[in-house]
A and B are shown apart, each in its own frame.
Chain A
Amino acid sequence: MPTKKTASRKPGATGKKPTDVAPCGTAPTSEKPMTITAGKPGDIGGLVSVKIDDIDIKVPFGTTILEAAKTVGIRIPTLCYHEDLCLAGVCRICSVEVSKQKTLQTACTFPITEPITVSTTSRRVRQARRHVLDLLLSKHYGECYSCFRNNNCELQALAKEYGVDFFRFGHPDKPRYEVDRSSYAVVRDMNKCVLCRRCVRTCNDLQSVGVLTAAHRSDQTKIETFLDRNLADVICINCGQCINRCPTGALRAKDPTDEIWAAIDDPRKHVVIQTAPSPRAAVGEAFDLPPGTSVTQEMNTALRRSGFDRVFDTNTTADLTIIEEGTELLTRLYKALVKKEEAFLPQFTSCSPGWVKFIEHFYPEWLPHVSSCKSPQQMFGALIKSYYAQKQNIDPADIVSVSLMPCSAKKFEANRPEMRSSGYKDVDYGLTTRETAQMIKEAGIDLPHMPKSHFDLPFGDGSGAGLIFGATGGVMEAAIRTVFEVVTGLKDEQLFTDANVVPVRGLEGIR
């Protein structure tokens, strides 16, 4: 028996190392990798000819039609396809003609394993695209004006691109489902869902959380939680990755801006905002700046002009976290290495509320390994309602503490019942970058052209260790720097160039 040779079918496989991408499923909710068994030796790694709309190219065995078309600049519309996710092939918008196939084939899933001819523009293809769009719109409730995804919606963009000028098969005038606002982090409006199942694949395959699934059949199909319970009552970790991949307005972060505006408008309230490092580099995107443009000081001014009484830097408590977590690690190491007693090692960080909830639900036996420290957000919240309130002589009951964070799980964390050590809710509202940009826009402020200003004292300057929390691997790097300095009495610059502990940075593999 010859040995089995397989080529892993992965989205975006062309030109990428196989380790760069998630394995791809054969069915929408599947976590099983789809493999193509070689028909004959030499197939895997070989090149196959394909003719797409009269353009001849050669592509690696197993490349999908969609990937092949991209390489020659042919655009095929997609909706259920997402480069991070397993292939689903459910929306059918990417249907194309393939030689020797009686029916249309979905470009996103069709692997090229033998020479084929593809047409992406035939009459049948155009008609199928229109019908798919018309059918999706016939079930998609709501009006674009009043949707937070207006001008940023994949369904809307496709409807425009493919010339939808009326609702051929009707349009719902009533919602079918109640909007689920139970979660502190994620709002689910299944009336806008187009059943692309990106959220299902994200939740199951990427996050391995698995609270979302397709339930029921036919036109009753709906993305549901276990027994259709409220999102607040299932094991959702509030990571918000489903929101990131939803093509429409069906999933969104829970938006507290109305409450924050009300607090700002209330003269008795002292409204402060702490800002995490990464939104400073991201908020500019909402104002058409290139991704990564740092607008920290412009943002400070914009937030003040929007009505916040104080703008603080979360880096201060990121530093605090690192001192606390580093000391905790040292204590555990001391226990284990010097006193030879049992200690829970390795120690995990506790900064991410999504990660903490993930461990609580799925690996409770590992909880002793998680640092007992609060996250920077919650440390800051406690400081504001205690130390800061005393110092400024403000009744903590009149302080509204807002937090600008890059993650929806922070909204949940602020609402955890144990996060009231000051006697008040330590953080009243969590804001995402998008929501903050929306508030600034709503106030009529052109952020990129704001004069620069600094953070407010007494929590003014943070260290570099806190700042790098915003980068992948940053918390670990900061912890290592601190531990290194405490233990050796040396400066980490003496070991690493510019104190950059490069080995723990970045996304490759597992740290």
Chain B
Amino acid sequence: MSSVVHIMERYEAGSGLKKALSMSRTDVIRTVRESGIKGRGGAGFPTAVKWNLCAVAQSPKKFIVCNADEGEPGTFKDRLLLTERPEVLFDGITIGGYAIGAKLGVIYLRAEYAYMKPGLEAALAARRERKLLGKKVLGNDFEFDIEIRMGAGAYVCGEETALIESLEGSRGEPRNRPPYPVNTGLVGVPTAVNNVETLIACAHIMVKGPEWFRKQGTDASTGSKLLSVSGDCAKPGVYEVGFGTTVREVLKLVEGEGAKAVQVGGASGHTVPAKQFGRKLGFEDLATGGSIIVIGPQRDMLDVAENFLDFFVEESCGQCTPCREGNPKLLEGVRLLKQGRCSINYLRELQNLGRTMQVASKCGLGQSSANAFLDVTEHFRSEILGRVPASKE
């Protein structure tokens, strides 16, 4: 299998929006439902369900928020989309806003992407001129505008409720769920938070229909996915592939076949060992927001685990106990393993702790931060155990 051009296809600005506005709100959501699209941020929540929950929530005011806080280590596909396909994104946000009944869309832009802001603002101003935004969008009885708000650099603000807290000007910390943002979101009103790639796909779906979208992918994971490939391979970069592509096929594409493991889904994803390279990318097997990090044979897997845990110890918001205190314990454990000073018993205890973190943490960060540790200690047991303690000199 090779890479595809699907949601990166040509797109005429305003075309999807025009189509959507010719339909009823319910039909827009039905079309999205028929496409089977699930959230591209990684969690894979069905977009139509999210929009529908938001649309039926009983509130006179609603918001749609585009999550452009692309912060997962090894992810850079939204940067490409924001740079090369902003018009499609603006269409997607406007379509989503129309579907749920919002008058305002907010793009929460990653702090590191501040350089894009003037260009995006100019593009939004041009859209207002062309009546693609404004009091009467394309002459219809539909008012909509888009604002850009900047993040301040916290990884956790990619989590939708922390993102909303940040938008409200508070410390970026995840909220308790339920209630969910579709019910109680930005300033307490129903809010749909969608990934950049999801909204772009929805704009295409409006123009080309759900069947076109389903041409790529599997039954459970329809459509294509942008991958940000980095690490030990000859051709890193952004690739578009259909869901269902195996890890092995991706490695062939990027010329990284010699890899001993691949990190699918970034730091919070899973470490896939070579013997599992036949596994497929998709919500039914290996869910990913798009980060693929190739780990070459020369790498020490404990270095890999240490690197990721170091990241989470830095980025945990510090709110809930399992994540705040658990990650440092796992990191300490990896360092003990490196020194050959971690007993099998203590390793087992840390693995149990990792499993507790997966189920007892408040948000997706803490629930996934132990993944890499658990994968490495399970799949690379012979590599990580039995190291000789460094001499005391």
Contact = CB atoms under 8 A, between A and B. Distances in A.
A109 interface: yes
B321 A90 contact: yes
B325 interface: yes
Contacts of B319: 28, 90, 214, 221
Nearest to B190: A37
Interface in A161-197: 168-169, 195
B173 interface: yes
Main secondary structure of the interface of A (DSSP, over half): loop
B296 interface: no
Contacts of B326: 131, 135
B118 interface: no
Contacts of A102: 359
Central interface residue in B183, B184, B325, by most chain A CB within 10 Å: B325
Contact of B184 (A29, A37, A95, A221): A37
Contacts of A168: 349
Given A29-B170, A106-B176, A128-B356, A5 B325 contact: no
B325 A219 contact: yes
A26 B175 contact: yes
Contact of B316 (A5, A106, A218): A218
Nearest to B162: A27
A217 B318 contact: yes
A242 B319 CA distance: 19
Contacts, number: 151
B173 A27 contact: yes
23 contacts: A1-B60, A26-B175, A26-B176, A30-B170, A33-B188, A35-B184, A36-B179, A37-B179, A90-B320, A90-B321, A92-B361, A103-B358, A103-B359, A103-B361, A104-B360, A113-B178, A128-B322, A131-B322, A131-B356, A138-B325, A214-B318, A218-B315, A221-B319
A217 B153 CA distance: 13
B381 interface: no
A121 B79 CA distance: 46
Given A103-B367, A124-B359, A2 B321 contact: no
Query: What are the 5 closest A-B residue pairs judged by CB atoms, nearest first?
Result: A221-B318, A135-B325, A218-B316, A109-B176, A128-B360
Central interface residue in B171, B179, B360, by most chain A CB within 10 Å: B360
Interface in B293-315: 313-315
Q: Which interface class (under 10, 10 to 19, 20 to 34, 35 or more) fits B?
A: 35 or more
Given A35-B188, A218-B314, A136 B321 contact: yes
B360 A4 contact: no
A176 to B, nearest CB: 13
Contacts of B120: none
B288 interface: no
Nearest to A41: B58
A95 to B, nearest CB: 5
A486 B183 CA distance: 59
A127 B354 CA distance: 11
A252 B208 CA distance: 66
A26 B325 CA distance: 22
B184 A26 contact: yes
B312 to A, nearest CB: 8
B170 A27 contact: yes
B353 interface: yes
A106 B174 CA distance: 14
A217 B175 contact: no
Interface in B313-362: 313-322, 324-329, 349, 352-353, 355-356, 358-362
